[in-house]
A and B are shown apart, each in its own frame.
Chain A
Amino acid sequence: NAGVTQTPKFQVLKTGQSMTLQCAQDMNHNSMYWYRQDPGMGLRLIYYSASEGTTDKGEVPNGYNVSRLNKREFSLRLESAAPSQTSVYFCASSAATYTGELFFGEGSRLTVL
C-alpha cells in the first residue's frame, strides 16, 4: 500500500539549474498539494490541485510551476533554482475536493548551492 510516493528523496542542484519533483498517489484522491517545510517557517503551501486539470497558487508559488498530469500525478518544477529554494518538499493528497484528511509523502530534501 504505497499511498503518496515522491521522487527523488534527495537532490543537490547548482543555482540556475532546473529540476522536477514527482509525486504520485494510489488512493484515487481528488486533491493534491505541494508544501515546503523550513526551520522556523513551518509548512507552507506552494501549489495545489483540487481536481484533475486544475491548479491554484498557494502561499509561496514564486519560482515554481506545477502540472497535474492525471488524477494520480502532480509534479513540481523549479525552472531556475535559487539557494532560497533549499528546503524539504512534501506532496500530499486528500479525497475531498478541498482539504479533508491529508496524506503526506516522505518528502524530498533539496539543496541548492
Chain B
Amino acid sequence: KQEVTQIPAALSVPEGENLVLNCSFTDSAIYNLQWFRQDPGKGLTSLLLIQSSQREQTSGRLNASLDKSSGRSTLYIAASQPGDSATYLCAVDTWGAQKLVFGQGTRLTINP
C-alpha cells in the first residue's frame, strides 16, 4: 500500500528565502506525482505534475523534482513571497492503483 509522507508539517521562513518542501513515498512504481497548493477554506490547486519518466518540472518560481529510486520528491520555491503562504500537498498515483494517495501536507508561512 502506497504511503506518502511530508515533513515538516509546518514551516515558517522570512520573505525572500529559497526553500524546499519534501515528499517521500514508499512504493516506487509510480505513474505520476503531483504537487498542490491549498489556501485556508479553499480547494486544492494543481501546481506541477511530474510523469514517472520525468526528473523535474518547472513553473515560474516553482521547481519540482522526482527521484523514484529513493522514493522522494522536492518542491523548490525561489524567492519566497508572503503570497506563497499556504498548505502544500503532494500526491502519488501508483501503477494499478487508479487513484491518488495524498500526503498530509506542509503548512508554509512566509513572514514579511
Contact = CB atoms under 8 A, between A and B. Distances in A.
Interface in B59-101: 89, 91, 93, 98-100
B98 A50 contact: yes
B46 interface: yes
B100 A102 contact: yes
Given A99-B31, A102-B44, A103-B46, A42 B102 contact: yes
A45 B100 contact: yes
Contact of A99 (B32, B41, B45): B32
Interface in A83-105: 90, 92, 98-105
Interface residues of B, number: 21
B43 interface: yes
| A interface residue count range (under 10 / 10 to 19 / 20 to 34 / 35 or more) | 20 to 34
A48 interface: yes
Contact of A98 (B34, B41, B89, B98): B98
B98 A99 contact: yes
Nearest to A9: B41
A90 B99 contact: no
Nearest to A102: B46
B43 A107 contact: yes
Given A42-B103, A99-B99, A104 B43 contact: yes
Contact of B102 (A4, A43, A56, A106): A43
A101 B36 CA distance: 10
B62 to A, nearest CB: 15
A107 B42 contact: yes
A19 to B, nearest CB: 20
A8 to B, nearest CB: 15
A105 B100 CA distance: 16
B28 to A, nearest CB: 17
A67 to B, nearest CB: 19
A58 B99 contact: yes
B43 A42 contact: no
Interface in A42-66: 42-45, 48, 50, 56, 58-59
A58 to B, nearest CB: 6
B98 A106 contact: no
